[in-house]
């Protein structure tokens, strides 16, 4: 038993110290990369950093801020720090010069504390600011000074507005963009999707937002029976059991921007408040979005642009509890009442 504890202790230490070594290695790579840029530019261009490592929806919603920061720094070198899994959301953005991948929150802290950026817009104030291996939490004193916290942020506005307030730029209602390339379009072309289809997104990382699979199955089977549309499910994974040729499961088969192109071609997007809903807003597909009470937020709106105004979206709310409790019939009713699709 003592030997097992001894081995477990040293395995833990090995993992921790290996991780810490990688943290500092990744930090030094970033630090010297930026240092060499400064030498190259000879003080003629500032190095501007934007830090928003995740969430998926926050990054898509925050795209307009790159335009605003570029407006403030037309000739400077702008770098966005992000988790590797979300890098593609920023690639091909004409307002960015470079992207740096974050290894962990501690590496982010080292970058911030180093002062290597001439100007820094740290927009990461809420989730994912703690590394359990390093036991390091990264604070955002700018957000704290403006009293923007995880407990009150939606009282300050939508996700873009919150980022604008932290960055100190104008709080303009700007619709987000994503930068879909020919390669993404070619991939979706290869799927040979039908001309008339609806997209559904059923699962998020927050279980309180997710309908039971039985609810989604009821909705999808109803739509298949009462319309002539195909139903395409997107997301990381699916637990639905639907046996019908007009149901197409693309979960886990596409990257983020390919998913955006699938949504762009759809007649309607139906989903919960999650990253793909922000993609739908960015590509201009009409959305029916279910939003429930989130802690003490009951009437919050995460979106800017036409999803915020309601011009291109219908928000179905549950102000008394999570969106998972919204009845299927309520969703069907609003789709029918708004005549968003044609029923047989």
* Residues 180, 22: Cα–Cα separation, whole Å: 33
The pLDDT score that the predictor gives to residue 10 is 64
Read off the pLDDT of each residue in 104-115 and give the average, rounded to a whole number.
Answer: 96
Does one domain contain both 129 and 203? Answer: no
Does one domain contain both 146 and 229? Answer: no
In-domain check, residue 7: no
The pLDDT score that the predictor gives to residue 9 is 65
- Of the chain, the end-to-end C-alpha distance in Å amounts to 69
Q: What is the pLDDT of residues 246-277, one digit of tens each?
A: 999 999 999 999 999 999 999 999 999 999 99
Task: Count other Cβ atoms within 10 Å, centred on residue 299.
Answer: 10
> 88: helix, coil or strand?
helix
Q: By mean pLDDT, which of 59-73, 112-126, 247-261 is the weakest?
A: 112-126
* Residues 78, 46: Cα–Cα separation, whole Å: 8
* Residues 127, 297: Cα–Cα separation, whole Å: 17
Q: Kind of pairing, strands 130-131 and 119-122?
A: unpaired
CATH number at residue 93: 3.40.50
CA dihedral of 87, 88, 89, 93, whole degrees rounded to 10: 100
Residue 164 pLDDT exceeds 80: yes
Tracing tokens 């490592």 back to the chain, one arrives at 53
The pLDDT score that the predictor gives to residue 76 is 98
Domain extent for 52: 26-167
Task: Kindly state the percentage of the chain with pLDDT values over 90.
Answer: 85
**pTM (two decimals):** 0.93
- Please report the sign of the dihedral spanned by the C-alpha atoms of residue 283, residue 278, residue 173, residue 308: positive
* Residues 205, 85: Cα–Cα separation, whole Å: 15
Q: Examine the fold and report which residue of 143, 167, 191 is the final residue of a domain before the chain moves on.
A: 167
Residue 307 pLDDT exceeds 80: yes
Confidence of residue 197 (pLDDT cuts 50, 70, 90): very high
Residue 1 pLDDT exceeds 80: no
* Residues 63, 117: Cα–Cα separation, whole Å: 20
The pLDDT score that the predictor gives to residue 157 is 95
Q: What is the mean pLDDT of the chain?
A: 93
Q: What's the residue count for the chain?
A: 344
Confidence of residue 203 (pLDDT cuts 50, 70, 90): confident
Q: Examine the fold and report which residue of 167, 190, 225 is the final residue of a domain before the chain moves on.
A: 167
Does one domain contain both 157 and 193? Answer: no
Confidence of residue 127 (pLDDT cuts 50, 70, 90): low
The pLDDT score that the predictor gives to residue 67 is 98
Q: What is the pLDDT of residues 216-237, one digit of tens each?
A: 999 999 999 999 999 999 999 9
Q: Write phi, then psi, for 188 (nearest 5 degrees).
A: -70, -35
Q: What is the pLDDT of residues 19-46, one digit of tens each?
A: 999 999 999 999 999 999 999 999 899 9
Does one domain contain both 296 and 213? Answer: yes
* Residues 142, 128: Cα–Cα separation, whole Å: 17
**Number of structural domains found in the chain:** 2
Extract the tokens encoding 169. Answer: 């730029």
Q: Which of 41, 34, 40 is CA-nearest to residue 81?
A: 34
């Amino acid at each position: 038993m003592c030997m097992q504890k001894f081995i477990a202790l040293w395995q833990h230490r090995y993992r921790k110290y290996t991780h810490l070594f990688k943290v500092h290695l990744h930090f030094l790579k970033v630090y010297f990369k930026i240092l060499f840029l400064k030498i190259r530019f000879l003080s003629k261009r500032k190095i501007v950093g934007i830090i928003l490592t995740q969430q998926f929806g926050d990054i898509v919603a925050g795209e307009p801020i790159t335009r605003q920061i570029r407006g403030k720094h037309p000739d400077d070198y702008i770098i966005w720090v992000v988790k590797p899994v979300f890098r593609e959301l920023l690639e091909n953005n004409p307002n960015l010069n470079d992207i740096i991948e974050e290894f962990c929150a501690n590496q982010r802290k080292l970058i911030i504390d180093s002062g290597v950026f001439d100007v820094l817009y740290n927009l990461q104030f809420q989730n994912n600011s703690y590394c359990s291996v390093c036991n390091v939490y990264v604070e955002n004193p700018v957000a704290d000074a403006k009293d923007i916290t995880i407990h009150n942020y939606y009282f300050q506005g939508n996700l873009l507005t919150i980022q604008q307030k932290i960055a100190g730029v104008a709080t303009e209602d700007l619709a987000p963009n994503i930068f879909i390339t020919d390669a993404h379009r070619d991939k979706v072309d290869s799927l040979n999707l039908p001309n008339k289809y609806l997209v559904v997104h059923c699962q998020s990382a927050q279980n309180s937002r997710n309908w039971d699979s039985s609810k989604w199955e009821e909705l999808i089977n109803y739509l298949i029976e009462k319309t002539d549309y195909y139903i395409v499910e997107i997301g990381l994974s699916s637990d639905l059991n639907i046996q019908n040729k007009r149901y197409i499961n693309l979960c886990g088969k596409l990257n983020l921007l390919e998913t955006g192109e699938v949504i762009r071609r759809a007649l309607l997007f139906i989903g919960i408040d999650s990253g793909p809903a922000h993609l739908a807003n960015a590509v201009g597909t009409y959305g029916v979005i279910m939003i429930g009470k989130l802690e003490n937020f009951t009437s919050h709106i995460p979106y800017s642009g036409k999803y915020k105004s309601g011009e291109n979206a219908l928000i179905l709310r549950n102000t008394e509890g999570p969106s998972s409790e919204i009845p299927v019939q309520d969703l069907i009713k609003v789709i029918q009442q708004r005549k968003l699709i044609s029923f047989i």
